[in-house]
């Protein structure tokens, strides 16, 4: 009787013939295997041990200076039909893509070990979870995949039971940027990545599988794969509401996911389910139920401190891998934002010199098990997931966008998410600080045409659905002095409380054309020292400015052509019309 692993064995054999490794190792996910990989990388210099007294079982990896972030311009979605990839993706025909990248894979593992990495995205027994196998020649990838996924024998057993898995082929190649590609073949459930060892390009379970391929799977199967954190907000009475929130990379997702309530909230608790990726599926009760497909955090180090994210810092003193951070003279990890210590060597291993730029790379990272987080929720392992009460969208906007507003209904919420704009960050190569539309924070990660993606979101609004309320937040509003008006970090709890109260029907709101805003008296602001003018700015709705904004949103939606859902365009027209009416009769602003 044929085994369901026959297809996997045949694929491994095919890859081995192409890449010609010296050895093949099937990963079992054991502690002994992990320690052997660490010893190997210490011997080769791929890792260096950090101070065992202050950071036991912690290691530093320095990547090639040309390989420090995701490379969106080299990332392709290779669907058979170019329109299925959409203008939000770089497209290449599958046959051409396979031919181009396989030529680079030919013989690339000579002298290396081919690692077969079976993994599960999500709790191993969850019906919402999905499995994959990554083949890689990088022990650094294996070590990180063990932290980031449920990797090894249990995942292989599930693959054998189900007979299906996402295939991921990775090689660091020769790290030549001219030979670097990340290819996704959604119809084949296949990923091929070469020329990079950086996390988002090489840990194929993360953005490649859990977002680009999973978003395609989710549309086929009626669920959502999203670039979202998941947190639980528990009141002193023991009632917990779960919230999913989407922000572009390096815009505070990890900080929000691990928030510690301020002194004004005695008895409140924030539980961390996940900080980056959320898979949501409609349950039999009509609600959306969510899991975090990841088992660890691959977080941005710079800016992480006791004042910004004490929970994150508390989990980084043991059993962690650091990538491209600086080091102190006594081998402790260091990055900008830490108040204590000083760098002796920078992220490239050079003696620290401020003339060379930051000591830690702005996109330097830590990899650590989620269970080490002090606020980690045991419900992160619930096979059925957790029920989502609210979905929050957000980004960096220095002006115009209020602190928080609620969408009127689901279709308005989809428009709010589709229209999201944010300044770019160091997590992707290219210019920093440029405003771009980043729908649902999924622009770099949606595995298919955004117009179809918007239609899929809208399709969830059906009879008997009990969908989450949708909100938009902006922690980054600046005053005339150029400084942030809202304190952020732990004080974001004050906004979360209003959001939960809205979900419970416990507070009212101010109706505006762009959505529902808090009444001043419904935000707990005691102790913040916010002046009346600052509060007015945070809750301001500049109708003329929003009319211009909606003209730009209209142009953005039109860029997706005929596939753009009519319902979304109608909703855009409704809000635009309300804005125009609010400006009449003196307004001269053109509204699109």
490 is in an annotated binding site: yes
Determine the Cα–Cα distance for residues 460 and 467; give it in Å rounded to an integer: 8
Whether 446 is a known active-site residue: answer no
443 is in an annotated binding site: no
Active-site hit among 251, 278, 373, 503: 251
235 is in an annotated binding site: no
173 is in an annotated binding site: no
The partner residues of 320 in beta bridges, in order of sequence, read: 368
Of the candidates 420, 392, 418, 414, which has an alpha carbon nearest to the alpha carbon of residue 458? 414
CB 525 within 8 A of CB 516: no
Determine the Cα–Cα distance for residues 305 and 230; give it in Å rounded to an integer: 21
170 is in an annotated binding site: no
CB 135 within 8 A of CB 286: no
Rounded to 5, what percent of the chain is helix, strand, coil? 35, 20, 45
User: Which phi and psi (to 5°) does residue 267 adopt?
Assistant: 85, -10
363 is in an annotated binding site: yes
436 is in an annotated binding site: no
**DSSP type of residue 232:** E
The pair of structure tokens assigned to 475 is 């922690």
479 is in an annotated binding site: no
CB 235 within 8 A of CB 271: no
364 is in an annotated binding site: yes
The pair of structure tokens assigned to 317 is 């003193």
**DSSP type of residue 291:** E
Residue 529: partners with Cβ closer than 8 Å, 6 or more residues away = none
Measure the CA angle with vertex 103, ends 101 and 109; round to 5°: 95
* CB atoms closer than 10 angstroms to residue 30: 12
CB 115 within 8 A of CB 19: no
* CB atoms closer than 10 angstroms to residue 66: 14
Of the candidates 92, 392, 108, 114, which has an alpha carbon nearest to the alpha carbon of residue 227? 392
Determine the Cα–Cα distance for residues 476 and 401; give it in Å rounded to an integer: 9
- Residue indicated by tokens 């044929």: 2
* Cα 164 from chain centroid (whole Å): 25
219 is in an annotated binding site: no
Q: Where are the beta strands (DSSP E) in 48-129?
A: 48-49, 59-61, 75-77, 90-91, 113-121
CB 470 within 8 A of CB 390: yes
* CB atoms closer than 10 angstroms to residue 152: 21
254 is in an annotated binding site: yes
250 is in an annotated binding site: yes
For residue 321, what are the CA distances in angstroms to 277, 304, 315, 516, 562? 20, 15, 12, 43, 46
CB 522 within 8 A of CB 507: yes
23 is in an annotated binding site: no
Q: What is the CA radius of gyration of the chain?
A: 24
Residues written for the chain: 592
198 is in an annotated binding site: yes
Identify the three-state secondary structure at position 502: helix
Output the known binding site for GTP. 250-255, 365, 396, 489-492
Q: Provide the annotated active-site residues.
A: 251
Output the known binding site for Mn(2+). 207, 227, 276
Output the known binding site for substrate. 70, 198-200, 249, 363-365
Output the known binding site. 70, 198-200, 207, 227, 249-255, 276, 363-365, 396, 489-492
């Amino acid at each position: 009787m044929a085994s369901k692993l026959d297809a996997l064995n045949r694929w491994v054999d095919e890859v081995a013939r192409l890449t010609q490794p010296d050895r093949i190792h099937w990963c079992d996910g054991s502690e002994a295997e992990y320690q052997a990989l660490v010893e190997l990388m210490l011997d080769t210099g791929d890792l260096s041990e950090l101070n065992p007294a202050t950071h036991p079982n912690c290691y530093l990896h320095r990547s090639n200076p040309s390989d420090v972030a995701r490379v969106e311009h080299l990332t392709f979605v290779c669907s058979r039909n170019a329109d299925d990839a959409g203008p939000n993706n770089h497209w290449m025909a599958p046959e051409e893509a396979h031919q181009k990248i396989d030529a680079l894979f030919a013989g690339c593992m000579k002298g290396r070990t081919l690692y077969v990495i079976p993994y599960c995205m999500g709790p191993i027994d969850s019906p919402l979870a999905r499995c994959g196998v990554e083949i890689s020649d990088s022990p650094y990838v294996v070590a990180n995949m063990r932290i980031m996924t449920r990797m090894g024998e249990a995942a292989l057993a599930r693959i054998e039971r189900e007979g299906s898995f996402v295939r991921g082929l990775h090689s660091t190649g020769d790290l030549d940027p001219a030979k670097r590609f990340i290819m996704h073949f959604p119809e084949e459930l296949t990923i091929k990545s070469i020329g990079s060892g950086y996390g988002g390009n090489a840990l194929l379970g993360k953005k490649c599988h859990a977002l680009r391929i999973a978003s395609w799977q989710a549309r086929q199967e009626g669920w959502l794969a999203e670039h979202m954190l998941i947190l639980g907000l528990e009141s002193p009475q023991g009632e917990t509401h779960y919230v999913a929130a989407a922000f572009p990379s390096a815009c505070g997702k990890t900080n929000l996911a691990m928030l510690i309530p301020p002194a004004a909230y005695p008895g409140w608790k924030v539980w961390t389910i996940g900080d980056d990726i959320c898979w949501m599926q409609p349950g039999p009760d009509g609600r959306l139920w969510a899991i975090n497909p990841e088992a660890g955090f691959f977080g941005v180090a710079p800016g992480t401190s006791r004042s910004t994210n004490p929970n994150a810092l508390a989990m980084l003193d043991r059993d962690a891998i650091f990538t491209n951070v600086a080091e102190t003279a006594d081998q402790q990890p260091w990055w900008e934002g830490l108040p204590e210590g000083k760098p002796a060597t920078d992220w490239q291993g050079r003696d620290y010199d401020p003339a060379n730029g930051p000591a830690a790379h702005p996109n330097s990272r830590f990899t650590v098990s989620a269970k080490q987080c002090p606020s980690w929720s045991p419900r992160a392992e619930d096979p059925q997931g957790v029920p989502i009460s609210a979905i929050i969208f957000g980004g960096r906007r220095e002006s115009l966008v209020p602190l928080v507003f609620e969408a009127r209904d689901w279709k308005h919420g989809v428009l709010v998410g589709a229209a999201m704009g944010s300044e770019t960050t160091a997590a992707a190569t290219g210019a920093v600080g440029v405003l771009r539309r980043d729908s649902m924070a999924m622009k770099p990660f949606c595995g298919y045409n955004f117009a179809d993606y918007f239609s899929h979101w809208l399709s969830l609004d059906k009879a008997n659905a009990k969908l989450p309320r949708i909100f938009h937040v902006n922690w980054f509003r600046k005053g005339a002095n150029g400084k942030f008006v809202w304190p952020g970090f732990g004080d974001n709890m004050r906004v979360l409380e209003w959001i939960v109260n809205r979900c419970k029907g416990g507070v009212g709101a101010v109706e505006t054309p762009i959505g529902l805003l808090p009444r001043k008296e419904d935000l707990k602001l005691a102790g913040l020292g916010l002046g009346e003018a600052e509060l007015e700015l945070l809750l301001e709705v500049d109708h003329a400015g929003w009319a211009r904004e909606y003209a730009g949103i209209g142009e953005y939606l039109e860029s997706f052509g005929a596939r753009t859902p009519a319902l979304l365009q109608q909703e855009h027209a409704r809000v635009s019309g309300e804005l125009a009416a609010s400006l009449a009769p003196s307004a001269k602003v053109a509204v699109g």
